[in-house]
A and B are shown apart, each in its own frame.
Chain A
Amino acid sequence: MNAKAIVVTSGKGGVGKTTTTANVGAALARLGEKVCVIDTDVGLRNLDVVMGLEGRVVYDLIDVFEGRCKLKQALIRDKRVESLYLLAASQTRDKSALSESRMQDTVRTLLEEEGFDRVLIDSPAGIESGFQTAASAAEGALVVVNPEVSSVRDADRIIGLLEAREIPEVRLIINRLRPEMVKRGDMLEVEDVLEILGVKLIGIVPEDEKIIVSTNVGNPASLEEGGSKLAAGTAFRDIARRIRGEDVPYPSFEPQGGFLAGLRRLFGGA
């Protein structure tokens, strides 16, 4: 993706925007980029806890907007990756404190004066002012969708709004795919979602308990090197590489068709 400022959005809440922002941001930084992740969910801040940085928040985005601190003072450096920074949302204010022009200024300053290579903007759920502010500073978008009815419908709405904003690079991340359910015909396949939404794919992330465990301890799963090809952490790392223009093939998420697995499906499943 050519876009340096990328909004992570979904319309529907709870589909994995914040997890995606933390994991892709961390992976991009591990690949050598200087990355800032910005939480724009004012009043419901969470990116700090997902990244394990909650203890370091002194100033936040709204403090920057309202001139109570310098931008540099509000940048929180990550514990693990040197080139990764967080700009936290305010927990005590509400979305009315956001401003599109201040957001655009902040992102421009990060890219042009502070030497950042990439800015990931974690959007709040919904299609109102919070989302609009987050999108206003972006040249690209990662739309996170789960393969289920309400998430796909909301993603379609969000894609329409991103197109109305003329954001040139809109890419889709299918999150929480459950290969066993796809195989049974009880979950939309990747191709179904792409056909319905009509945007380019940039990642498929399987449902993975490890994400919950790594979030519990505030440590993005994408930072754990190695790991299975089919792990969510690996999928997030692959997304970071694709954003950087690498041609990373998609692993097959088809469940293993071994004899035992086949028997289990025959008698236990369907």
Chain B
Amino acid sequence: MFGLFKRRKSKDELKERLKLVLTYDRAKLSPGSMEELKRELLAVIKKHFPATEADYDVRVEQQGDRMVLIANLPVKGA
């Protein structure tokens, strides 16, 4: 009975996975190429800023009709 409260609904996990995979599908991107993009982006940023690799975040996101690339790369004070 307690499992009723603890158990994560499988459909919620499915919904999350679907949203992510469809974002990539619609942008005609493969998750692998995103990883490559992240690495290259980081390399470029690092040339100019001592970026902290630990907590950067790069992803594509659906915003209404548009697909946007969101990069959050915290840089240490120059």
Chains A and B bind each other: yes
With A149-B18, A188-B11 known, 11 other A-B pairs at CB within 8 A are A149-B14, A152-B18, A153-B25, A160-B26, A182-B11, A185-B11, A188-B15, A192-B11, A196-B22, A266-B1, A270-B4
A196 and B25 in contact, given A185-B11, A185-B12 (Cβ under 8 angstroms): no
Q: Which residue of A lies closest to B19 (CB)?
A: A196
- Checking B3, B12, B15 against A270 with a beta-carbon cut-off of 8 angstroms, the contacting residue is B3
Bound-state Cα–Cα, A155 to B35, Å: 26
Q: How far is the CA of A148 from the CA of B4 in the complex (A)?
A: 22
- Report A-chain residues with C-beta under 8 Å of the C-beta of B15: 188, 192, 196
B14 touches A156 (CB 8 A): no
- Scan residues 2-33 of chain B and give those whose CB is less than 8 A from a CB of chain A: 3-4, 7, 9-12, 14-15, 17-19, 21-22, 25-26
Tally B residues with Cβ within 8 Å of A: 17
Task: Name A35-94 residues within 8 Å CB distance of B.
Answer: none
CB contacts under 8 Å to B, within A151-183, are 152-153, 156-157, 160, 182
Interface residues of A (CB under 8 A from B): 148-149, 152-153, 156-157, 160, 182, 184-189, 192, 196, 266, 270
CA distance A192 to B4 in the complex (A): 21
CA distance A102 to B13 in the complex (A): 45
Q: How far is the CA of A174 from the CA of B17 in the complex (A)?
A: 19
In the complex, what residue of chain A is closest to B17 when comparing beta carbons? A149
Shortest beta-carbon distance, B5 to chain A, in Å? 10
Alpha-carbon gap, A106 to B12, bound state (A): 45
Pairs A–B under 8 Å by Cβ, sample size 24: A148-B14, A149-B18, A152-B18, A153-B18, A156-B22, A157-B25, A160-B26, A182-B11, A184-B9, A185-B11, A185-B12, A186-B9, A186-B10, A186-B11, A188-B11, A188-B14, A189-B11, A192-B11, A192-B15, A196-B15, A196-B22, A266-B1, A270-B3, A270-B4
Expressed in whole angstroms, the Cα–Cα distance for A270 and B6 within the complex equals 11
CB pair A187–B4 under 8 Å, yes or no, is no
Among B3, B11, B17, B19, which residue has the most Cβ atoms of chain A within 10 A? B11
Contact yes or no, A187 B11, CB < 8 A: yes
B22 touching A153, Cβ below 8 Å? yes
Complex Cα distance, B29 from A159, in Å, reads 18
Instruction: State the CA gap A182–B26 with chains docked (Å).
Output: 27
The residue of chain A having its C-beta at the shortest distance from the C-beta of B9 within the complex is A185
